[in-house]
Structures are given as structure tokens and as C-alpha cells.
Amino acid sequence: MSDLAVSSYLPGAALPDAATPATGSRDPAKVHDAAQQFEALLMGQILRSARQGGSGWLGDGEDPSAECATDFAEQQFAAVLSQQGGLGLATLISSGLTPSDRK
């Protein structure tokens, strides 16, 4: 095992250049994209639980291919909703994580 591999497991050891977090350089576009992905994931979970807890308006859940297609459709629908503003969580999260220039 190389010194780099061993030192990466030691507490307080310096991280390699590729793994060093960028402190102070938060790209607002990347932060907003991550916030949109999080919001899409959350909305997808909400849609899935609403479908699974409902009365089976999309079928009885017996057909695995229909279940897979419905899951994919929900994921895509949640992603598009998030990109179009969704619940507004992405904007709220990204504004909280992006440093402002207020003085």
C-alpha cells in the first residue's frame, strides 16, 4: 500500500488535490443545479408515496413493467417540475448556500 493510500485514512491527513474541497469558491450555477436535483428527488418521493398509498388509479401494481414505466415517468416529471420552479425549494436552498455580496 502506498504512502498516499495509508495517509488518506489517517485523521488530520491532508487530502489529495483532486479530493480537496473548494472552500470559498461555490459556483452559484452548480449549487443551483444540485438544489434542483435535490428538489426533484424530493418531489419524486412525494409522487411515489402518493401513488403507492392511493387506491391504485394507475393499476393494481401487478404488472412489473408498468410499475417500472410509472417510476421512470414520475422521475422525469419531478425533474421537469423542479427545472421549471417546482415547489421553490431549489431557489431557497441555493440562495442559502450561495455567498451573497451584501455589505
Max mean pLDDT among 18-22, 25-29, 53-57 falls in 25-29
Is the pLDDT at 19 greater than 50? The verdict is: no
Q: pLDDT digit string (tens) for 50-71?
A: 887 765 555 566 778 888 888 8
Q: Closest Cα partner for 87 from 47, 49, 57, 51?
A: 47
pLDDT of 69: 87
Name the residue ranges covered by the structural domains of the chain: 27-52+61-103
Cβ-proximal residues to 32 (8 Å cutoff; 6+ apart), any chain: 90, 91, 94, 98
User: Could you tell me the pLDDT band of residue 5, with boundaries at 50, 70 and 90?
Assistant: very low
- The pTM assigned to this predicted structure is 0.63
Cα 90 versus chain centre, distance: 10
